[in-house]
Amino acid sequence: MTARRDIEAITERIRQRSKAGREAYLGRIAEASGRAANRAVLSCGNLAHGFAVCSPSEKVALGGDRVPNLGIITSYNDMLSAHQPFETFPALIKDAAREAGGIAQVAGGVPAMCDGVTQGQPGMELSLFSRDVIAMAAAIGLSHNMFDAAVFLGVCDKIVPGLVIAALTFGHLPAVFIPAGPMTSGLPNDEKAKIRQLYAEGKAGRAELLEAESKSYHGPGTCTFYGTANSNQMLMEIMGLHTPGASFVNPGTPLRDALTREAAKRALAITALGNAYTPVGRMIDERSIVNGVVGLHATGGSTNHTIHLIAMAAAAGIALTWQDISDLSEAVPLLARVYPNGLADVNHFHAAGGLGFLIRELLDEGILHEDVQTVWGEGLRPYAVEARLGADGSVVREASPLTSGDEKVLAPFKKAFQPTGGLKVLAGNLGHAVIKTSAVKPERRVIEAPAKVFDSQQGLNDAFKAGTLTGDFVAVIRFQGPKANGMPELHKLTTVLGILQDRDQRVALVTDGRMSGASGKVPAAIHVTPEAVEDGPIARIHDGDIIRLDADAGTLEVLVPGTEFALRRTADADLVGNEFGFGRELFAGFRQLVGRADHGAAAFANA
């Protein structure tokens, strides 16, 4: 009961803090809804351009606003495994729309970049900013004012948050998110990680490493570890933006196709032309956002969502803070162990009962808000199900199992892996930071050691190769924040620091950069705010300063006398090399406009 009261209290404080912004946002939605039906306000020339390639019967229907028109925003490309399955989705959606008496058109495409391809490369410095580009690109697609609802095809790291921001910006339209699903299981993630470590130590060659990576990432679908991409899918379902049970069904299966068709029909059913009008901006409220944070904690999800959820909430006029996220962590137990928090992958999680089981467990304990609106209707309880393929090829749903199929992967509430969530906010004289604790052993959660300071991840990697990273230490990697260089993920540090920890060194990481949902067994205080380039305290750390990272107490301190530390000059870094090449010169304006990580790191003018 205490946890339930805490959830309610945090939700209420978010509601009160957001009152003015939320009321203004809802007023804009109401005004936009009043201008619908959309095509009625278009001139004949406007409309002729909008339906030029439609059939004669579709032109008649669209000209009279007699049938709903569904806009498709797609992140399809055929280089990336997670998005390649979307190639066939528009045809399925259009066919389903015709069956339902509606029409569907591809309204626009958005870019989809892969952090897995760009890790450690210059292109990674565009990754976080791509979220805002995606939001803007989707807005351009929907700006034609031709649509009564929209479906969003996206999966991975920045794509889904960008699409959510766009959907909420067009909050008067119903919005249904349609996933592609995870790839089938390949080489186990822990075996892949071992080969990475051997390669870093010079004990395995590039051919062996490439073979292991290729066996892990081997076909269509999302990578199977529980990083940002799969955290996205969890969020969309627990926030009610997916149809029930849709998140973790593999691509290229009859059930996946049936779920896609069903989602299209549902989007058409909830337009203003029917009796179940569900504008997404009203549907997503403070309770929905809190449910998303609860799901993130209960599953040990991606640290990236401590940034994205704030930006997503802001698009709906809701002011979410890191403190809210941290306080919710104290009220939510960890119920899932999926790599890097365990050995299982998302297919194992799904087979053990998946989101349906987890949602029911949390609902039964009052940890989730049940009284929310979803694309499926009233209440979250209908999501405590498993989706299956019926005899006629349609989707049928069964109640989620009462017992977990594997309690080492998915625990019932009363057997939680730990009493608190997998993410925590740290505070101290270095500012604020985020840490993912779910994969860090309890004995590693408090580290006090001298600092080794670097201005790039390459600097640390070079020191590792030179054999100078000896003894206990806290690696400080600074000038990696959004204003400095776009806040790239520093995932390649995971392998190096993991090797040193396995050698019984006590090590930790402190950085104003990101580490993603793949953050692993090494304690890492990430997203340090203010960042170094804004004269944050991290820019005043010297080699040898003692740093204390205490994930249990939630503190991050440099143990230097306050007066001495305050009088130090902040370090400078030469960032010219981060300003050009691989398109980085095109994002100079983004680096100037971007807000702080704890404010959502948005590059919009009102960030």
> How does DSSP assign 38-63, residue by residue?
GGGGS-HHHHHHHTTTS-HHHHHHHH
- What's the distance, CA 407 to chain centroid? 25
For residues 283 and 371, the answer to whether their CB atoms sit within 8 Å is no
Cis peptide before 3 (omega within 30 of 0): no
In angstroms, rounded to a whole number, what is the distance separating the alpha carbons of residues 58 and 393? 27
Number of neighbouring beta carbons within 10 Å of residue 295: 28
For residues 186 and 218, the answer to whether their CB atoms sit within 8 Å is yes
In angstroms, rounded to a whole number, what is the distance separating the alpha carbons of residues 219 and 82? 9
Strand residue runs (E) in 119-231: 149-153, 175-178
Is 54 annotated in a binding site? The answer is no
Is 223 annotated in a binding site? The answer is yes
Number of neighbouring beta carbons within 10 Å of residue 256: 23
- Comparing CA positions, the residue from 344, 340, 365, 343 lying closest to residue 354 is 344
In angstroms, rounded to a whole number, what is the distance separating the alpha carbons of residues 231 and 235? 6
In angstroms, rounded to a whole number, what is the distance separating the alpha carbons of residues 548 and 65? 63
Token couple for 235: 């969020």
Q: How many residues does the chain have?
A: 607
What value, to the nearest 5°, has the Cα angle with vertex 108 and ends 105 and 111?
145
Q: What is the DSSP letter of 602?
A: -
For residues 363 and 381, the answer to whether their CB atoms sit within 8 Å is yes
Token couple for 342: 């365990």
Beta strands 175-178; 149-153: pairing state: parallel
Residue environment code for 506-543, b if the CB has 16+ CB neighbours within 10 A, otherwise e: bbbbbbbbbbbbbbbbbbbbbbbbbbbbbebbbbbbee
Beta strands 431-436; 423-428: pairing state: antiparallel
Handedness of CA 312, 315, 321, 327 (dihedral sign): negative
In angstroms, rounded to a whole number, what is the distance separating the alpha carbons of residues 159 and 229? 9
Q: Tell me the three state secondary structure of residue 502.
A: helix
410: Cβ–Cβ under 8 A, 6 or more apart, which residues?
335, 336, 337, 349, 352, 353, 354, 357, 358, 404
For residues 335 and 361, the answer to whether their CB atoms sit within 8 Å is yes
Tell me the one-letter amino acid at 201. Answer: E
Token couple for 358: 């987890």
Pick out the residues of the known binding site: 156, 223
- The binding site for [4Fe-4S] cluster consists of 156, 223
